[in-house]
A and B are shown apart, each in its own frame.
Chain A
């Protein structure tokens, strides 16, 4: 009898400021599996959606960057707990999106959850590897500490819809940045489902904002936006990456260029350190 039951389809929506809006443009596009069969209609985000997401990310920055590192670590660990509970859902979404066997999709999801845990643990350690006490030649206290860059636009990898996504998002936010994520254009569903996990964890609204649609269309206003501080071009091809980098120069965004990546490999600290600023504080010593 269950074989005859008609399943309940999900309406996939954007995730902006902790809410799940449709695209303000009212547009959607068809998302298919690797064989071309229809999976869902995903929101086709507009420039306005991108700008709204930036506003939400900026609004969330003070609170998230001001939270204690211990608190951010716990919140992100909570996300991993929620992901674990939805493991089966992500496995099937990744299998459909990327045309993987169940075993391979499971490996991707497991790696993604483990990676999330790995990054969560960095929250209260990164300052100890990226900061320094500086022995200046004079009677001064002198300390350098890393601080989050601000609002980071993240173009998620096109080919790795979930492990790749987690690999670029988690390092950006664990240090206190807030993010506007552009999901894989062809396979946005795992990203939109991740938003549902974030909303039911303790991640404050606006810390992560997820947009789906045409990468080029959404990325252009993000790269040019004067209130975006950095951009990760992982999901951009060479031509688009060049255009976006040139546009990002207008307010000197920090740019992480795309390069071939094996998302299953040990990520190292590159992405963790990419969106940090070093602040150095001086104070005289004296009795």
Chain B
């Protein structure tokens, strides 16, 4: 017996998207030099949402100069004053969270349930958390008078557009820096709406500058000699290229890059909870998550039981209209990303792993990929080694805790890991042995502004969130 769901669409009338947007530089929206623009589309419908300015080198230069000019006054403000601006921003985000959630879902393709219940609350909380640090920096453990770095050039990805903006801008401003931020090419809109929030908050001109464009714009920004701090979240490949370009400069660098997290399920784990954790670990945000639990390591003795339960659960996942409140899995963010997911999934089959997906009807327009798992995966397979960044789970098995650790750590990445077991001493032993920046035990994909986030090894360096997150924007360490 099956139950049908009635459609439960969130209204998009709360969002008023302009037909075009300029660059937000020195408190004004301005055209890009050469008036070059690009379109941003809704990945669920392929509908063009707006046209956005494409910043060229001279626009980047203009933005960096504006930020430099604003730095002197902003950094000299008493921390308590900077704090109040950030508190204002946090409150305005809360007030406008319905609008921003719908906007994020339109531009990104993620389910409204996630943008509404996860992204937006975390965005506001992040500003609220760092607002309170702005006037307490001498107590943060970085010396009696830690100083800001200057102008921060920040480049963020498309998977959590507004949340990544918050992770970058909130600590930077709290510490007294000014910023030039470039949102991802496919998801520029929420950052441009954030510019309007800065206006409503009365933030001084030039403290936050938003420039839109593609990778070339990002490259101009991180190599600009007027930038004192580079913060990047994105692929490991681009992160390495940025690390090369800042070599020999005085630029401080933090990188939050890719991952290939192991989600390890022991035979004593409660099956239903573990299955929910596995599903949340890999299908949250269509698997467009750097810390996604993309490698399931399941103890051999319970592998069949877990897989049966997992397949049953996957069969109930609803893929489709991201604005529908019942949707579990939304659209893949771009045709390029869809092609990459398909290529790696095909490689999984070609290399001999067994592919399974529940039968589910995908919409005829937009970019979609059904939740998929692979069994019979070996550590040599590409789907066990490369970040897929999509709703694709690779399943491997193990017999002993030592083997689980060995397999979990057998990757150049080290962002996150999951452990499911009822045995407390084993959790702590595993947490100690796993070479990853975040270990979720009997939970997964939890985030909080007070909790430091960031990787080991090729998942990058530096932390975002918590007291640790301030270090990236102060002249210490």
Chain B residues positioned under 8 Å from A149 (CB to CB) = 456
Cβ-defined contact, A278 with B463, below 8 A? yes
Residue of B241, B451, B454 near A134 (CB, 8 A) is: B451
A278 to chain B: which residues have CB within 8 Å? 437, 452, 454, 463, 468
A238: chain B residues at CB < 8 Å are 248
Q: Determine whether A132 belongs to the interface, using a CB cutoff of 8 Å to chain B.
A: yes
Contact: A277 with B437, CB < 8 Å? Answer: yes
Please give, as numbers and ranges, the residues of chain A lying within 8 Å of B427 by CB-CB distance: 283
Query: Is A142 on the interface with B (CB-CB < 8 A)?
Result: yes
Smallest CB separation, A254 vs chain B (Å):
6
B456 touches A280 (CB 8 A): no
Take A242-B248, A274-B477, A278-B468 as given contacts and tell me if A134 and B243 are in contact as well, using a CB distance cutoff of 8 Å: no
* Interfacial residues of chain A within 29-51, with CB under 8 A of chain B in the complex: none
Collect the chain A residues with CB atoms within 8 Å of residue B460's CB: 252
**With an 8 A cutoff between CB atoms, is A282 at the interface?**
yes
Residue of B at shortest CB range from A273?
A: B477
Are A245 and B247 in contact, with the CB atoms below 8 A?
A: yes
Note all chain B residues with C-beta closer than 8 A to A140. Answer: 443, 446
Task: Decide yes or no: A270 and B443 within 8 Å by CB, A132-B467, A280-B452, A283-B427 being known contacts.
Answer: no
Q: Is the CB of B441 within 8 A of A252?
A: no
Within the complex, what minimum Cβ distance (angstroms) separates B288 from chain A?
A: 21
Say yes or no: is B29 at the interface (Cβ < 8 Å to chain A).
Answer: no
| B461, A279: Cβ atoms closer than 8 Å | no
Q: Which of B240, B248, B436, B476 contacts A252 (CB 8 A)?
A: B240
Please, what's the 1-or-0 string for B238-251, where 1 marks a CB less than 8 Å from any CB in chain A? 01110110011000
Contacts of B454 in A (CB 8 A): 278
Which residues of chain A are within 8 angstroms of B146 by Cβ–Cβ distance? none
- Indicate whether A251 sits within 8 Å of B442 (C-beta atoms), given known contacts A129-B141, A134-B448, A278-B452: no
Decide yes or no whether B450 CB sits under 8 A from chain A: yes
B191 at the interface (CB under 8 A from A): no
Interface string of A117-154 (1 = CB under 8 A from B): 00000000000010010111110101010000100000
Also in contact, A282 and B243, with CB within 8 A (given A129-B141, A251-B458): no
Chain A count of residues within 8 A CB distance of the other chain: 35
Most chain A CB inside 10 Å of its own CB: which residue of B236, B442, B460, B468 = B468
Does B466 sit at the interface, judged by CB under 8 A? yes
Closest to B246 in A: A245
Q: Mark each residue of chain A from 267 to 285: 1 if its CB lies under 8 Å from any CB of chain B, else 0.
A: 0001001100111111110
Contact of B441 among A242, A277, A282 (CB under 8 A): A282
Contact between A137 and B125, CB atoms less than 8 A apart: yes
| Min CB–CB distance A224 → chain B (angstroms) | 12
Residues in A neighbouring B446, C-beta threshold 8 A: 136, 138, 140, 282
Shortest CB-to-CB span from B387 to chain A, Å, is: 14
Indicate if B38 sits at the interface (CB-CB under 8 A).
no
Assess whether B311 is interfacial by the CB under 8 Å rule.
Answer: no
Instruction: Please state if A144 and B448 are interface contacts (CB–CB under 8 Å).
Output: no
- Residues in chain A near residue B443, CB distance under 8 A: 140, 282-284
Chain A min CB distance to B239 (Å): 7
Interface string of B421-460 (1 = CB under 8 A from A): 0000001000100001111111100101011111011101
Main secondary structure of the interface of A (DSSP, over half): mixed
- The smallest C-beta distance from A256 to any residue of chain B, in angstroms, reads 9
B204 within 8 A of A: no
> Is B412 in contact with chain A by the CB < 8 A criterion?
yes
- For residue B240, which residue of chain A has the nearest CB? A249
- Does B255 interact with chain A (Cβ within 8 Å)? yes
Contact call A142/B448, Cβ cutoff below 8 A: yes
Q: Which of the four size classes fits the interface of chain B?
A: 35 or more
B451 touches A284 (CB 8 A): no
| Other-chain residue from B247, B248, B257, B437 in contact with A279 (beta carbon distance below 8 A) | B437
Contacts of B247 in A (CB 8 A): 242-243, 245-246, 248-249
Contacts of B456 on A, CB cut-off 8 Å? 149, 277, 279
Residues of B near A250 (CB, < 8 A) are 240
Q: From residue B123, how far is it (CB to closest CB) to chain A in Å?
A: 13
Interface string of A209-220 (1 = CB under 8 A from B): 000000000000
A175: chain B residues at CB < 8 Å are none
Q: Which residues of B contact A138 (CB under 8 A)?
A: 446, 448
Q: Which B residues lie within 8 Å of A283 (CB)?
A: 427, 441-443
Q: Does A241 contact B (CB under 8 A)?
A: yes
**Residue ID in chain B nearest A230 by CB atoms:** B461
B476 & A280 in contact (Cβ 8 Å cutoff): no
Decide yes or no whether A167 CB sits under 8 A from chain B.
no
How far is the CB of B152 from the nearest CB of chain A, in Å?
Answer: 18
Q: Which residue of A lies closest to B129 (CB)?
A: A137
- A134-B240 contact, Cβ under 8 Å, with A129-B141, A283-B442: no
Question: In the bound complex, do residue B448 and residue A251 qualify as a contact, i.e. CB atoms below 8 Å apart?
Answer: no
Contacting B450 at CB < 8 Å: which of A135, A242, A270? A135
CA distance A250 to B236 in the complex (A): 10
Q: Nearest chain-B residue to A149 (Cβ)? A: B456
The reply to whether B243 and A249 contact each other, CB–CB distance below 8 Å, is yes
Contact check, A280 vs B248: say whether CB atoms are below 8 A apart: no
CB distance from B469 to the nearest CB of A (A): 10
Contacting B at CB under 8 A, from A219-262, are 229, 238, 241-243, 245-246, 248-252, 254
CA A69 to CA B404, docked complex, whole Å:
26
Partner of B458, one of A134, A142, A252: A252
CB-CB under 8 A from B241, the residues of chain A are 249
Cα(A249)–Cα(B240), bound, Å = 5
> B451 near A282 (CB under 8 angstroms)?
yes
Q: Is the CB of B477 within 8 A of A270?
A: yes
Q: Which residues of A contact B438 (CB under 8 A)?
A: 279-282
**Separation of A137 and B450 alpha carbons in the complex (Å):** 8
- In the complex, which residue of chain B has the Cβ closest to the Cβ of A226? B412
**Separation in Å of the A68 CB from the closest CB of chain B?**
12
- Nearest residue, chain A, Cβ from B241: A249
Q: Report A271 CB to chain B, min CB distance, Å.
A: 10
CB neighbors of A among B241-273 (8 A): 241, 243-244, 247-248, 255, 257
- Please list the 10 inter-chain residue pairs (A to B) with the smallest Cβ-Cβ separation, ordered nearest first: A242-B248, A249-B243, A245-B247, A136-B448, A246-B247, A249-B244, A283-B441, A134-B450, A134-B451, A281-B439
* 9 extra A-B contacts, CB within 8 A, seeds A249-B244, A252-B457, A284-B442: A129-B141, A142-B451, A144-B468, A229-B457, A249-B240, A251-B412, A278-B437, A279-B439, A280-B437
* CB-defined A-B contacts under 8 Å, sample of 16: A129-B141, A132-B467, A134-B452, A140-B443, A140-B446, A142-B448, A144-B452, A144-B468, A246-B247, A252-B457, A274-B477, A278-B452, A278-B463, A280-B437, A281-B431, A282-B443
